Amino acid sequence: MNSSFRDKLLAWNKSTNKRSMPWKGEKDPYKIWLSEIILQQTRVEQGLSYYQSFIAVFPTVHDLANAPEEKVFKLWEGLGYYSRCKNLLASAKIISNELNGFFPDTYEKIKLLKGVGPYTASAIASFAFNEPYAVVDGNVQRVLARYFGITTPIDTSSGKKLYQELATSLLDKKQPGVYNQAIMDFGAIICKPSNPLCEQCPQQQDCEAFKNDLIRQLPVKEKKLVKKHRWFYYFKIQSPETIFIRKRTEKDIWQNLHEFALYETNDPSPFPHQPFLNELLGAQPYAIISQSRVYIQQLTHQTIHGQFIEVSTPEDVFLPPPFQKVNKCELSGLAFPKMINTFLEEQAM
């Protein structure tokens, strides 16, 4: 059954798979690594333009390692999960400075890079160095769960082990990179999460989910995602020429991005500004100019509700670190969360 699955998959890949991506068939480990980091928690459609921009601006790992951090984060802006960008920079510096630009060439060495787990290491090792490591992502789990009728939850330790062992047993050891790409493409094109193309599927005859009407039930997840709500009240404290911003350094969402003065609550607050501004500005004069509409940004585990309060101050107003006063014309060169960018874009219209 395993060889039948593998043979049919590779035959489909050779004759029918027309999925085109700029990193498919790529052998440069730097470019493969870049694409894999970008595609962690990001859809291909969204990540494509970012990959092309990074390759254009940073064609080698040395270029990335020596770039100003602000420039890299600005290019990453909008992709989310900014710890990926931080890890990307840290690993680039190691490869450039400690390994003389030579990318680690084995699975075990690749896995030592910051931000690289078993899946990413398997992808790079198989695509760039033809090492026999099977990739297991959401596409692969879905294909295997349906074909073999697996009811073990994919988000449990036993499930992860089962899927990894099964994927490894199916791997074509002679052409692991081709096989890995084929099964991921198959999950994206044929065995889709919703409305899979079962009538076009070469595996249909042996697919347990198809035979037993379990397509919608598989794969199984044990944990229900509980999303929390957060309310962000941003205070745009400004004079005619300058504005106060700070960098988010906490281990939280949007780390290393800039923002305005922030007051956060767990529930909506109709008038949060008076006590917050009095504490922040003390006796310094200010005037509240306007309050924006509510902006909503949906993240994987949480919903952010944001509102912007514009505060006018004299030019000589002072805020202590971590706040810094910048000229308004500098804002376009700094990296901000999507919500703040949307607000700034609407203001400029």
Mean pLDDT of 79-102: 94
Inform me whether the pLDDT recorded for 206 exceeds 70: yes
165 carries an active-site annotation: no
CA distance 160 to 166: 10
Q: Which has the minimum average pLDDT: 268-272, 278-282, 331-335?
A: 268-272
Inform me whether the pLDDT recorded for 224 exceeds 90: no
CA distance 232 to 304: 7
CA distance 62 to 64: 5
Residues pairing with 231 in the sheet? 265, 305
Q: Is the bond preceding 219 in cis, omega lying within 30 degrees of 0? A: yes
Phi, psi of 288 (to 5 degrees): -80, 125
For 226-246, what is each residue's pLDDT tens digit?
A: 789 999 999 999 999 999 999
pLDDT of residue 272: 64
**What is the percent of the chain where pLDDT is above 70?**
99
For 286-323, what is each residue's pLDDT tens digit?
A: 999 999 999 999 988 899 999 999 999 999 999 999 99
pLDDT of residue 243: 96
The active-site residue, picked from 26, 36, 45, 70, is 36
Mean pLDDT across the chain: 93
Inform me whether the pLDDT recorded for 2 exceeds 80: no
CA distance 188 to 204: 16
For 108-163, what is each residue's pLDDT tens digit?
A: 999 999 999 999 999 999 999 999 999 999 999 999 999 999 999 999 999 999 99
CA distance 207 to 213: 10
Inform me whether the pLDDT recorded for 100 exceeds 70: yes
**Domains present along the chain, CATH in parentheses:** 2-211 (1.10.340.30), 228-348 (3.90.79.10)
Predicted structure pTM score: 0.85
CA distance 110 to 38: 16
